[in-house]
Amino acid sequence: NHNGVNIKRTIAAMINEYTPIKLFSSRQGASTITQQLVKNLVDDRAISGLDGALRKVREIFRAFTLEKNYSKDMIMEAYLNKISLSGMIAGVQAGAEIYFDKNASEVTPAEAAMIAGITKNPTQYNPFLQPENCLERRNDVLYFMFNQGYLTQEEYDEAVNSDLGLAETHTENVNTN
């Protein structure tokens, strides 16, 4: 329901970043999926200060342009094909193949939750290097899925009680840096 940018969250995040006023109890991002896609597509890495603020402005205008020219479905598909899933793994299809040795359309709810969970912090939730963190994050995502009605109680219980189920064929051959 936005045009590529959540203006209220962006203004609040800017106030949090550049003034002593804190509108949230912790630093929270304001980027939409469209803005995250822009960030993943362009090599604009300015992080802080004036350069960081100008990068954010460029990102906002690029997000508006994407939203004018592409449908939400196309933006989501591009995002899912570009998102980092640890090391050199990018996109949910590559993640499904490397982590589970299957097509993305065949993953279980637990596997889908693991892939979704990794996106929050691909290094911290790398299942090869940080399996305990990954499992905890996966279970958080499963809870969110259950809480929002995407899983029944039975599906949730089964998924949360399963292990990560990583494919044996890739665990030693994947560049996880």
Asked if residue 176 has pLDDT above 60, the reply is no
Phi, psi (rounded to 5 degrees) for 90: -130, 130
Q: Is the dihedral of CA 116, 118, 122, 126 positive or negative?
A: negative
pLDDT of 4-32, one tens digit each?
A: 888 887 777 777 766 777 666 555 566 88
Q: What mean pLDDT, rounded, does the chain reach?
A: 87
Q: What is the 3-state secondary structure of 109-153? A: HHHHHHHHHHCCCCCCCCCCCCHHHHHHHHHHHHHHHHHCCCCCH
Q: What is the 3-state secondary structure of 14-49? A: HHHHHCCCCCCCCCCCCCCHHHHHHHHHCCCCCCCH
* pTM for the full predicted model: 0.79
Asked if residue 163 has pLDDT above 90, the reply is yes
Give the percent of the chain with pLDDT over 90. 62
Asked if residue 147 has pLDDT above 60, the reply is yes
Residue with the larger pLDDT of the pair 118 and 10: 118
pLDDT value at residue 169? 66
* 55, 44 contact by CB (below 8 A): yes
pLDDT value at residue 38? 92
